Amino acid sequence: MIDRSAGYPFPVIVKVLAFGACLLLAGCTGTSGQEPVKEAAGRFLGALASGDHRSACALLAPRARESWAPESCERGLAGANIPDGTPETVSVWSEEAQVKTARDTLFLHESSTGWVITGAGCRHRDEQVYDCAVGAP
């Protein structure tokens, strides 16, 4: 039997705490910040699909782009075998994001100029580690 004279019953406290946790998580991963991420990933994937490697290179974060010499970014992307796709699932954590397509995982970072691709063509190596054809998570 629950002693209600001591305050709120335990199940009510648990429900309130669970609701508060949901609100906090919604603030970090809500849909309001997902659209710009989805658009950036879509532009990158669209550029690759149309063979516009120059535009795709411009959407890479500097560190990912510099993994090739500047004159070979386009050639590098052409040979990276990044699967075609459209953004399906978007997760945002402050300035970092992950976009999943049917066959790929991309990672993005919010720079001063907008969202840029930090990793593409990424596959799970184990539970938390990804290997990426371009850049890194």
Segment 9-58, tens digit of pLDDT:
433 333 333 333 443 444 444 456 899 999 999 999 999 999 999 999 99
Q: What's the whole-model pTM score? A: 0.74
Judge whether 57 and 47 are in contact, CB under 8 Å: no
HSE-up of residue 67 (Cα within 13 Å, Cβ side): 18
Read off the pLDDT of residues 82-136 as tens digits, 9 standing for 90 and up: 999 999 999 999 999 999 999 999 999 999 999 999 999 999 887 778 999 999 8
Q: What are the phi and psi torsion angles at 38 (to 5°)?
A: -60, -40
Buried b or exposed e, range 27-49, using 16+ CB within 10 angstroms = eeeeeebbebbbebbebbbebbe
Query: How far does CA 58 lie from the centroid of its chain?
Result: 18
**32-135 adopts what CATH topology?**
Nuclear Transport Factor 2; Chain: A, (3.10.450)
Residue with tokens 């648990």: 14
The full set of domain ranges for the chain reads 32-135
